[in-house]
Amino acid sequence: MAALETALATLKSKFGHVFYVPGNHELWIRERDRDMGITDSHTKLRIILERCRQLGVHTRPTQLGGLWIVPLLSWHHRSFDKEPDVPGVPPASAWTITDYSACRWPSSVPGSSTDGSEQLAAYIDSMNNGPEWQTLLASRAQCDVISFSHFLPDQSLLPEKRYLYYPNLAKAVGSDFLAARVAQLQPDLHLFGHTHFAWDACIGGTRYIQAPLCSPLERRKRLFTVGFGACMAEAEADPVAARWLPQQVYVGLAPPSAPAQGEAAGGADQQQTVQQQQQPMRAEWRPQPQEPPAGTAAAQLAGGQAAGQAPQDASSNGSGGSGQQAEAQPGADQQQPRKAEGGYDPMPAVARLQLQIEMELAFGWQPLRHGAAVPSLLAHWSMYYEEHPRQPDVVTLAPWVARLYERRLHRRQRAAAGVMRSTAGAEEGNCGEVEGEVTALTSMSESDNESAIGF
């Protein structure tokens, strides 16, 4: 709790808006939590959300100009896994899924008595309901939407079981309830985590990105699958300082000081601030383009020359509006800009469209309604599935996974042989029989568990 609070407070001191959604590790109950009087995961979740509220960290959908950012609480359940099992691997249990043993759910929480239950996942998902969700759905068509969750909303965002060191990981990574919520929302971007595989794929009109931070040790060991290939040569030299950490995924065309939902806009100082144009950051690993020709919308954006024209539709600010974008018409760019409720003049439709086109050509970003998404990221597994169809019915372990299980089998055999030798020696010496056997079996179980979940 202390480390989480310090991290969130530090981020809040550096950024105007910080969004956060708890994952599974935050809800583990350890001895230090019990020392603080926190004895169950539900209580810990409530405390975390309340502390975020006190710090000013967003855990609910929030509108910033023409952009909605949507944290989605979720929890995994076994039935999320719809693909055939790989025979001969340890089942999903408290030995292999730490959440089953480290989380403590009170009896008042639905599904608390069953590991990986749908009822628990549905209950956590229901915490996303509220007035913000309804407001979001009502204005979704006029805004850019970025949602994010800790867990996966689609099993195709995880490598097939035969490629995983622990194939039954698929039973503890995602939620059908989260999937239904994302399908209802239809966000432009959905960010996710948990599995520590870099990913960038488009499914059903939504772009899904995972840019795992990971620990420094994991980045060094698994750079090939957690990093983005375009900067891999640099990352191999220093995985910890690689430029894809953190990964920028969106450039907002809204003014930097666009008011959040419910905040009053106005005042001379604010009007002066919103006239400053925000330059989209280039993807650093891309070849640097030539400077845009003078007089173009992109040149105006880069140089901050379009004073008084904020590149955002009037209706996309937090104070309301119909949200309908004006259609490009002959001579529209000659029309007098309309005054927006938020206190700034919107960019005319033709200029806005021209800016988007120039941005896409000059910077490689993908235009949305009021901003732009990062160019395609070169992630190993998502690129693999762009060229190879998913074959979940193939349950023969990949060679590198098979080698792991062979080593595990040999380790078990050696441990069993050690137990037999220890038992035989104890019988001859008439001492130490029970102690030797228990020690050997415990060592075998701990080692086996470490290999199953240590990826």
What 8-state DSSP symbol labels residue 139? H
Instruction: Please tell me the predicted confidence (pLDDT) of residue 360.
Output: 58
pTM check: above 0.85? no
**Helix or strand run (H / E) with residue 367:** strand 366-367
Instruction: Please tell me the predicted confidence (pLDDT) of residue 410.
Output: 83
Q: What are the two backbone dihedrals, phi and then psi, of residue 67, each rounded to the nearest 5 degrees?
A: -125, 130
- Please classify residue 399 by burial: count the beta carbons closer than 10 Å to its beta carbon, then call 0-12 exposed, 13-18 middle and 19+ buried: exposed
Task: Determine how many CB atoms are found less than 10 A away from the CB of residue 164.
Answer: 20
Above 60 in pLDDT, residue 49? Answer: yes
User: DSSP string covering 106-127, please?
Assistant: -TTSTTTTSTT-HHHHHHHHHT
Tell me which of 376 and 294 has the higher pLDDT: 376
Tell me which of 287 and 234 has the higher pLDDT: 234
Query: Which residue type is seen at 360?
Result: E
The pair of three-digit structure tokens given for residue 28, joined into one six-digit string:
């583990």
Tell me which of 271 and 150 has the higher pLDDT: 150
Model confidence band, residue 446 (pLDDT cutoffs 50, 70, 90):
very low
> Do residues 41 and 103 make contact, with C-beta atoms less than 8 angstroms apart?
yes
Give the strand pairing for 199-203 and 206-210.
antiparallel
Distances (CA, A) of 35 to 26, 29, 38, 39, 376: 16, 10, 7, 9, 46
What 8-state DSSP symbol labels residue 189? E
User: DSSP string covering 52-78, please?
Assistant: HHHHT-B-S-EEETTEEEEEE-----G
Left if phi > 0, otherwise alpha if psi is -120 to 50, otherwise beta: which for 214? left
- Please classify residue 372 by burial: count the beta carbons closer than 10 Å to its beta carbon, then call 0-12 exposed, 13-18 middle and 19+ buried: buried
Give the rounded distance of the alpha carbon of 47 from its chain centre.
22
Out of 28-32, 235-239, 311-315, least confident range: 311-315
Relative orientation angle of helices 176-185 and 118-126, to the nearest 10 degrees: 30
Greatest mean pLDDT range, 102-106, 419-423, 444-448: 102-106
Mean pLDDT of 79-108: 95
Task: Determine how many CB atoms are found less than 10 A away from the CB of residue 93.
Answer: 14
Query: Which residue type is seen at 135?
Result: T
Question: What is the spatial distance between Cα 75 and Cα 41, in angstroms, rounded to a whole number?
Answer: 12
Instruction: Please tell me the predicted confidence (pLDDT) of residue 246.
Output: 78
**Helix or strand run (H / E) with residue 266:** none
pLDDT digits (tens, 9 = 90+) for 157-181: 999 999 999 999 999 999 999 999 9
Above 70 in pLDDT, residue 131? Answer: yes
Give the rounded distance of the alpha carbon of 423 from its chain centre.
51
pLDDT digits (tens, 9 = 90+) for 338-359: 444 444 445 565 566 556 556 5
Question: What is the spatial distance between Cα 123 and Cα 175, in angstroms, rounded to a whole number?
Answer: 11
Above 60 in pLDDT, residue 127? Answer: yes
Instruction: Please tell me the predicted confidence (pLDDT) of residue 4.
Output: 94
Task: Determine how many CB atoms are found less than 10 A away from the CB of residue 217.
Answer: 10
Question: What is the spatial distance between Cα 78 and Cα 85, in angstroms, rounded to a whole number?
Answer: 12
What 8-state DSSP symbol labels residue 396? S
pLDDT digits (tens, 9 = 90+) for 381-416: 999 999 999 999 999 999 999 998 888 888 888 887
Instruction: Please tell me the predicted confidence (pLDDT) of residue 418.
Output: 77
Distances (CA, A) of 319 to 12, 322, 340: 24, 11, 10
Above 80 in pLDDT, residue 337? Answer: no
Above 80 in pLDDT, residue 28? Answer: yes
What 8-state DSSP symbol labels residue 260? B
Distances (CA, A) of 437 to 73, 413, 422, 434, 455: 45, 14, 7, 5, 29
Mean pLDDT, all residues of the chain: 76
